[in-house]
A and B are shown apart, each in its own frame.
Chain A
């Protein structure tokens, strides 16, 4: 603690409360925490501002648009407008439907452009100019990780939206960041048994991987999980994010001796690579005496809709699907459908849930102070938000819940009925130790409430 004392002497003060970055959180933990108002962007008026930082352009723009719809819906429900959606099924909940802590919820939006630079700049604007108390969003793990560390440094809470990389709550976890979405490891753990049942033990896989943190960890997760079932990983090839044309990467696949193509792509990338793979006639080929198959580890309805006919029979995993029949899912699908006229995607679901979870944590803690929020969210157990009983683990700020394995529907009944849930993998099967080798090396650190 000597460093704190040092900062409080005359020279330190003159130098402008030096090292505020670290000194501040420890500083505010105890004394100022009780005062309740001594943290960055403490809401002063009758309202509180959230920052919705989503991709509105780029490869993940469709997901971003749906996330934004969900955020707006969540804000409506929090402010007591509309039918309340999942607020009615969420338990244990302290939400009252009159804003949060009596303050009306307002929001600002920003475009991450699916680029770390732009996303951080946009988040900084929200924190500095719009006085946002919480930042949420991101449809790319690279962006989510970059913004998460920014929020840690600045001293606001980051509620991660759609980010599936192991690193978000692994190597790059931060005390101020929380993720409800599942991750690559969980996809692998849920998918591998299903793939083994469907395609057998003796398979050779060829990975095409989006070349950034998410791609790297999903590739590692899937290949390790399938190798444990006896599969062989023939080759892994990295493709640039937003490549558009994947034909040059697809051509060598058929000559490699592989009989499974794993597409570690998401958003428009996945739509393009899958469509092109199908156009190449890959799914009609026979290799090693077996039918050539394609696997898409992370599925979303929006992508499946984009890829159309091509997804039929293709396996993947997803965080949530609108066809689930629990009360929470039904309530959410109903109010989202009434608002926008179509069912929500998994990205919309996780963003809606994250907003509610944040709001509830603030109500529970009785403050918007990030350190209070962290305390309220850590090891919080809840139900009724569409995924069954869920735990927000305190050790890494990752949610643990059931994972869905889905398959492209062979006989869709509507244009939204594209995926069918083939298995619900229970949470116990996808839980892991926080120090698992794919997640080790990170440090949550102390929560940061920023300088007031």
Chain B
């Protein structure tokens, strides 16, 4: 029997409210499946399991406040026999309506893929019309149902929303689909109930206070000539349809990830000493328009191509803004990157997100005088800073790291 406990979704988290179970006893689960939605200061987080097996018991009730580490559910590992519990045996009387509905789901013809997607999105199969062989529900049918729920009020030309369209609301509208036409087109980005920009603010406050209290920061800074990187990017984007264009941020993320391969001491957590991390998971700071920040994780950034990094951003940023991230996307980062983008200030001195040991800050790219080989030129210049934990590393390590980033950005075609 395995135990599933409330995960910590960041150094600052003490507890969360269980808002929805996505599974019930007897359900098969696989690594990476989402089993519940937990409300934290950072929004509604979908929490994932890392085991394979069958859900045994659910030990926490919806809307309970659950401290980190609390036993939430038991999982019967794959291969072990699933005991037939009393409540699963057919009862003569008083079967709860929910269980009847769940039982009916098993008799609906649906492809395994359709069933999986519907379950991930929290959509009842019984509400979907099947168009496959013998009326089976296929992936297309589920996806139509999802898009119908996402924008029931949207005008036809707005149905093909870019990925910025907030994807929340699917689980909330499980049974009740609003039918009255609504004039306002977009839903609010934070339609999940019970938290607000203030709670995000408080989460940032707690993490940053802890960081400044505990981490002896040191700072290094270097200026980087972005001429070849931007030229390369502009040429690359000319060859691409708009939908596949790259932003400078992906070059920066990739350069950081590559540099971490060279200087692994900065890809680490400080928890009772330095713990180097094997995977390079870059936390990328997304600022919320209403104030506050979210830092979703790009997993294994060093092995992702620039296109894959761009896809990751396309996926993560809208969900971060809508406060709809998964637990692994909040808790796994091994370093943080913040990029202020164009039009802003030139230099950013970051505050490390514990238990990480480093944060890379990129200012805006501005035209500046640049001396090279005894000549003066005007170049697009980026200021990169490193905030690092002096318990974990020293200035020479940090210097090698920033220099590596600088060198990678001179050869954008090799990133």
The yes or no verdict on A and B being binding partners is no
